[in-house]
Amino acid sequence: MPDLPLRYTTPSTWTEAVMADFDSFLLDHAAAEKKASGMAISMLSHYPDRIELVAAMADLAVEELTHYREVVKWIHRRGLVTATDQKDPYVLAFRESIRQGREVYLLDRLLIASIIEARGAERFALVAQALEAGPLKKFYQSIARSEERHYELFLDLAGKYLDRDMIEQRWNELLDTEAAIVAGLPIRAALH
Return all residues near 81 (Cβ < 8 A) that are at least 6 apart. 75
Domain boundaries, the chain: 12-184
Percent of the chain with pLDDT over 90: 96
Distance CA 75, CA 83 (A): 10
Mean pLDDT, all residues of the chain? 96
* Stronger pLDDT, 85 or 134, i.e. the higher one: 134
How many other C-beta atoms are found inside a 10 Å radius of the C-beta of residue 142?
14
The pTM of this model reads 0.96
1 confidence band (pLDDT: 50, 70, 90): low
Per-residue pLDDT band for 96 (boundaries 50, 70, 90) equals very high
Q: What is the pLDDT of residues 153-174, one digit of tens each?
A: 999 999 999 999 999 999 999 9
d(CA 109, CA 120): 16
CB 121 within 8 A of CB 67: no
User: pLDDT tens for residues 34-74?
Assistant: 999 999 999 999 999 999 999 999 999 999 999 999 999 99
Domain 12-184 of CATH type 1.20.1260.10: yes
The pLDDT value given to residue 3 = 82
Q: Which H/E stretch holds residue 2?
A: none
Report in angstroms the alpha-carbon separations of 92 from 70, 81, 116: 25, 25, 12
